[in-house]
Amino acid sequence: MPDQPPLAARLMLDALAEFARVSDALPAPGRGGAIGRLNAGVVTVLHVTRRVGYLASFALGTPVDPWVLEHVAPDAPTPTFEAARAAFERARATVSPALTDATSATLARIPVPDPIPGMPPELAGATLEYMVAHTAAHVFVHAGEMSALASLVGAPDLELPGVMPVTRGTAE
């Protein structure tokens, strides 16, 4: 078996794939409007995209997509679901190579020793491995939220978390 990235990186790759799968399966009624106390799908996609964008920034030293930061501002107009999904895919495409190529050594570094504005405070001073694992857990939580929202608007059970082929080591 070829060398695989550490478990946290593999979990994150699967979390991104599952979030994409669930958000793609969300029927239109859940994409734009809140249902009860659940966020609208577009809000959740923006939130996850911001977190993935920060992770990519920490892992690669690149800036977070300005489009995302503009659209998560408190007074920003809500974009279309499709525009938010496109931003998610940009963030996913940015971070995925770093996760695929990750080693224990690269994940051991501490990329952000002190808090910065907009960053979840629990990530300051953490290793990149912790950031990856924390973000993977966060993305899976929101995949579950999207799955519940999809169920409420008539979608079949999306069976999260799915097979998780990267984590399992069966991805091609």
What is the distance between the alpha carbons of residues 110 and 152, in angstroms, rounded to a whole number?
A: 41
- DSSP of 94-123: HHHHHHHT--HHHHTS-S-SS--TTS-GGG
Q: How many CB atoms lie within 10 A of CB 92?
A: 21
pLDDT digit string (tens) for 33-63?
778 888 899 999 999 999 999 999 989 988 8
Q: Which CATH architecture has domain 7-157?
A: Up-down Bundle (1.20)
What is the distance between the alpha carbons of residues 73 and 47, in angstroms, rounded to a whole number?
A: 11
pLDDT digit string (tens) for 8-23?
999 999 999 999 999 9
Residue with tokens 């525009």: 83
What is the domain partition of the chain in residue ranges?
7-157
Q: What is the pTM of this model?
A: 0.92
